[in-house]
Structure 1
């Protein structure tokens, strides 16, 4: 390698870590926020037992959460453009903390389902804004900024189940109070670490261009964004079958909170590692769309294996962990594609895509639980695999509308 090539390579490696203080503040808050998502996973069987709830009722904890997130994603851009990124992030953190604490005090499954919807409201404000903030404020390319975001998400998701398993072993209420405490830490950290951030992130600068609630719908007129959004909706059927239904299957086979915590710790660690290291390699070698299609096929086969060997605990547990690697790659590739898909504001593209994405996340958990009740425990995994394959086929059929995302990322 020549001296010039070595210098360029070194700069590329360093650019991901050389970020403004505001970016690191948001990334740190993302880790804590997504720890909250993973904290709840190991206690789903315990909630079902303690509150005398069925599998489909427990799955509504994810349905209400994702349904509110999907709708609120349409207005996060409107709120952010008026409050600014920092204030919107802090508002989201406060809402998450409040509803998670109230959830820990509830004694009824339906009350808990409603409170999870409030939690989804806070998460919508935080998640959509945090992605936009990192991409906007980062000094790296869009692709590298998204890798940083997905790394923060992966770290939070990986550590969350371990902590949730430990707290859940004491009481199913423990993880809810744990989330509230973590959100207080995130609020303090974000308040101080973003205090001296660049003028770009100030409320005044963010409000210069106010967005409308109809902007995400207008953005979906771009075929590329619509195709990726529909694919994400169908892909989330598989994703939340893993998140919401697999813990119930493993719990039914005797796995306790500690065991579930370790399984989803492995899942999250692989998700974090692959989102940072292997997704960029796949993108450079094969392109975003081809890599996405390949990951979706592998994910569908993994779900199918879980559907065939649903009664074998080690197979289900191993498949959950292995799925983390596929989801880590897919999340980074998909988010990069969305940010480069259409000539619209990134916050608007994120809102439109997230709306479609979380519709799938809202339907899938309840649907999986009902399929198990109507038929047998194998069916939800098989149906989830079918949805993932359909999502992959939609992207391939519309490949001419999305192939430009690789050219845009290369230009960046």
Structure 2
């Protein structure tokens, strides 16, 4: 069968298998922001402090980080499809039992189980989409980032809506949605062949010896301090209802999704990959600094949260693409190594933000986040020569997107 050149293939014209994994990815990524609107209600009803409740993020992310080291070993032995289904199944169990818990420690524990399932799914999903999609690697990554953005956007909204009924509602809701995702994946994704060789658990750690991958990982680790400080600490400064917080972060997630797919490639083509990433990091650090200065002003904090989504979306897309292009290892290994490092940063930030907010003042977590994001920018600038080859590509490696009409997305949705 003849294939059109990747530059001539629309990123929206994809096989059903790609859309199946993308749909499951949307639901999987709901877990990141799902608990945002119910952090304060959980703290109030279970008599927990903000730092204790922030461990819902920490346990989830720290297990997710270390589990990234085994994802390649698992998928290379049982295949990508089975790995995706096992991951989704673990999330179903973890989220359901978190909703059935009666203490904060029980919820923290089951969120850790949830993180294991998410690691198996997330690391495999990116490689599965890249492998099955028509067109270029950049197009496949944009689809993945779009799914990520939609999931992050929908998570707080669903968490807020169900959280108005009970803090348990979002956990049970995700469990049901994950069952649907499992069925979609099981029936629409063809059985994937196993790789020719088994991946070692140590391969992601060995991959970090490569300067480009290690640099991007450290950048993401520092940047995630700001990312998860925004997620974990902001609900406590707003002191609003679950549905109100849900709608605020829904707006944030929508901005993230739009900028991931439509804004990032245009900036990349105009200014280059490294310039766009460092610019986005600087703007995000500036937003966190404004939030630190105006923590007591709800309108300012709300506007900053929503606007931050624009720069987070730009950064997510371009950094992920950089990892896939710069790492001289197999894509699943690169994804696992990168995710291991960046989620370590995300796991520390929520708890540290809660402690700083309790012990010092509510401004301190945002100041720390701003400093960490500036450090991330500094790391990327210092080792910029490692990525020079990416910006030497035509249009700095960006997609030829000028011919893609926004209506094409709607047309494709109608054809599905």
TM range (shorter): over 0.9
Task: Name the counterpart of 2:374.
Answer: 389
TM-score relative to the length of structure 2: 0.92
Question: Are 1:237 and 2:237 an aligned pair?
Answer: no
- Structure 1 unaligned segments of length 5 or more: list them: 1-7
Contact 2:30–2:151 (CA under 8 A) maintained in structure 1 = yes
Task: Name the counterpart of 2:345.
Answer: 360
Question: Secondary structure of the equivalent of 1:15?
Answer: coil
TM-score relative to the length of structure 1: 0.93
Task: Name the counterpart of 1:155.
Answer: 150
Deviates more, 1:109-118 or 1:151-160: 151-160
For residues 241 and 8 of structure 2, what CA distance do their matches in structure 1 show? Answer: 42
For residues 219 and 81 of structure 2, what CA distance do their matches in structure 1 show? Answer: 31
CA shift for structure 1 position 37: 2.8
CA shift for structure 1 position 326: 0.8
For residues 285 and 8 of structure 2, what CA distance do their matches in structure 1 show? Answer: 33
CA shift for structure 1 position 351: 0.6
CA shift for structure 1 position 159: 1.9
Task: Name the counterpart of 1:377.
Answer: 362
Question: Are 1:40 and 2:25 an aligned pair?
Answer: no
Question: Are 1:146 and 2:131 an aligned pair?
Answer: no
What RMSD over aligned residues (CA atoms) do the two structures have, in Å?
1.6
Contact 1:83–1:207 (CA under 8 A) maintained in structure 2 = no
Task: Name the counterpart of 1:54.
Answer: 49
- Structure 2 unaligned segments of length 5 or more: list them: 400-416
CA shift for structure 1 position 342: 1.6
Alignment coverage as a number of residue pairs = 394
For residues 218 and 32 of structure 2, what CA distance do their matches in structure 1 show? Answer: 23
CA shift for structure 1 position 22: 1.4
Which deviations, in whole Å up to 9, do the C-alpha atoms of 1:254-275 show, x marking residues without a partner? Answer: x111110110110010001000
CA shift for structure 1 position 81: 0.6
Q: Please show how residues 6-405 of structure 1 align to structure 2 within 5 Å.
A: 12=7, 14-194=9-189, 197=190, 202=192, 205-251=193-239, 255-405=240-390
Contact 2:88–2:121 (CA under 8 A) maintained in structure 1 = yes
For residues 411 and 280 of structure 1, what CA distance do their matches in structure 2 show? Answer: 5
For residues 219 and 407 of structure 1, what CA distance do their matches in structure 2 show? Answer: 24
Contact 2:266–2:398 (CA under 8 A) maintained in structure 1 = no
For residues 39 and 62 of structure 1, what CA distance do their matches in structure 2 show? Answer: 10
Contact 1:296–1:388 (CA under 8 A) maintained in structure 2 = yes
- With over 3 angstroms needed to count, the CA separation of the structure-2 counterparts of 1:326 and 1:13, relative to structure 1, is farther
